[in-house]
Amino acid sequence: MINTLRNNNIYIIIFKTKIRLNIMTDNEKIKNMIENAYLQQKQMIELNYTQFKNIIENAYLQQKQMIETNASIMKNYSNMFGNSEIVSNIEKVESHFLALNEESKKSMMHQLDLIRDNFLSNASRIKEEYTNMPNFDKFVPNFNCSERPK
C-alpha cells in the first residue's frame, strides 16, 4: 500500500512537472528563444573565427614556402655562375620577405581577434537588453485584436 502511494506520488510529481514545462508564459517563451538565439550566434561567431584563423595560418604557410622556394632557386642559379654577392643579396631579400609575411600574419590575427571580441560583445549586449526587458507579454496581441488588460 505504501509502495503504491509512493509510486502514485512520483507519477503526480512527474505529471505536475510536465504540466509546468508545457505551460510557459509568452514572456518565458520569448526569453527562452532569445537565450537560444544568443547561444547559436555565439557558436557561429566562434566557428567563423576558427575558420578564418585557419585560412590566415594556411595562407601564411603557403606564402612562407613560396618565398623560401623562390629564394632557394635564385640562390642555386646564382651559385652556378659563382656570383656570391647576388646570393647574399637574395638571402637579405628572403629574410625581409619572411619578416613581412610574419608581421602580416600577426596583424591579421590581431584584427580577427578584435572583430571576434566585438561581435561577442555586441551579441551579449543585445541579449542583455532583451533579457532585462520587464515583460514581453504586453507586446503579444490578443487573437481578437483587442487590447490586453493592464
State which amino acid sits at residue 31.
Answer: K
Domain boundaries, the chain: 27-134
User: How far is the C-alpha of 90 from the C-alpha of 104, rounded, in Å?
Assistant: 21
Please list, residue by residue across 37-63, b when 16 or more beta carbons sit within 10 angstroms of its beta carbon and e when fewer do.
ebeebeeebeeebeebeeebeeebeeb
User: How far is the C-alpha of 150 from the C-alpha of 148, rounded, in Å?
Assistant: 6
Which of 26-30, 37-41, 112-116, 125-129 shows the lowest per-residue confidence on average (mean pLDDT)? 26-30
pLDDT in tens, 29-53: 778 888 888 999 999 999 999 999 9
Identify the three-state secondary structure at position 65: helix
Residue appearing with cell numbers 537565450: 35
pLDDT in tens, 2-26: 455 555 555 555 555 555 555 667 7
